[in-house]
Amino acid sequence: MSDIKKVVLAYSGGLDTSVIVRWLQDTYHCEVVTFTADLGQGEEVEPARAKAEALGVKEIFIEDLREEFVRDFVFPMFRANTVYEGEYLLGTSIARPLIAKKLIDIANQTGADAISHGATGKGNDQVRFELGAYALKPGVHVIAPWREWDLNSREKLLDYCKERDIPVEMKKGKSPYSMDANLLHISYEGMVLEDPWAEAEEDMWRWSVAPEKAPDTPTYIELTYEKGDIVAVDGQAMKAHEILAHLNKVGGDNGIGRLDIVENRYVGMKSRGCYETPGGTIMLRGHRAIESITLDREVAHLKDSIMPRYAEVIYNGYWWSPEREALQALIDQTQHYVNGVVRLKLYKGNVDVVGRKSDDSLFDEKIATFEEDEGAYDQKDAEGFIKLNALRLRIAASKGRKL
């Protein structure tokens, strides 16, 4: 333990990480550097500075990462139409590689020889933080207090604070939901949600109205795409994080983006969680719509076939891996002609595509029409096409083979 002189801690200013600051000081007798990221979680991050100072922290880093987060992590992920296990839009997963990167950057900058985080030993986040850290700085030491200490309840954490005069809210009783928020989503776990049969309480949701309480008049929006990324909403150019924030607002107002799932964690257990991802839900629907007219069929099908693997790579914490980079290169190559505008109708929890157009569209009305095509498509060609594709089936059937 004496080898650890300085540690960079991912610090929120809440109960757990405030305890970790003092625990690191007491246990490792080391200097603690705090890092607080603004990822658009909707809460002020600057108060973390005063809290860290009160704990004797001398080097305090607070960074606004909203634009980098959406531009360099969320947008590349959405180019792949990424969904984990058919439903989850990876709101927590995609934030962890950026935090890991910044922890290592600050460790290099301050000369720290270790990093630390407040993820528990039961979850995915410990894996995501640490895989990222080791990929970016192989020799870094990682301290995960939840895997070392015996402060395994809120009561014990509060008692620890009382004994050491740690300035946190001394409020005993039932814990609130375990929540994680950033510009892409809010996640909720714990309490009643630990019973997969129990319906989530309506007052739990923060960003969205209940679909049945959403406006009775639909909202129409237009998304402009360049190389697979949204660059404007309703014709107004915006930065990446501004786009997502705007879509969160309009989506939440229309009851869009609620999700209740039981997922398979990388560590082996099943976990029930609820998610609010209004902007991401809109983005996914819009991106698939613009790809429907701009992507070649086989390219689109190839993308769909590798998407579950890409989603798994991100969910499991391998953003900083050669396989993710290889997949990303393929995905990005497909996006050169994914340009144009998609019109969406938002209504009581639903996102409907009602229009799409592009100068790079592969949709040819002269060929697809049910009316006279003036020879653009010779229907007689279909006979040979069908017979050739049926050849193996006809041969097998002629030999008496049964399915």
Active site residues: 16, 96, 125, 178
Separation CA 397–CA 403 (nearest Å): 9
Nearest to 78 by CA among 240, 254, 197: 240
| Residue 13 Cα to chain centre, angstroms | 23
Nearest to 56 by CA among 36, 26, 77: 26
SS (H, E, C) the chain: CCCCCEEEEECCCCHHHHHHHHHHHHHHCCEEEEEEEECCCCCCCCHHHHHHHHCCCCEEEEEECHHHHHHHHHHHHHCCCCCECCCECCCCHHHHHHHHHHHHHHHHHHCCCEEECCCCCCCCHHHHHHHHHHHHCCCCEEECHHHCCCCCCHHHHHHHHHHHCCCCCCCCCCCCCEEEECCCCEEEECHHHHCCCCCCCHHHCCCCCCHHHCCCCCEEEEEEEECCEEEEECCEECCHHHHHHHHHHHHHHCCCCEEEEEEECCCCCEEEEEEECHHHHHHHHHHHHHHHHHCCHHHHHHHHHHHHHHHHHHHCCCCCCHHHHHHHHHHHHCCCCCCEEEEEEEECCEEEEEEEECCCCCCCHHHHCCCCCCCCCCCCHHHHHHHHHHHHHHHHHHCCCCC
- State both tokens at 192: 């009643």
Largest Cα–Cα separation, the chain: 86
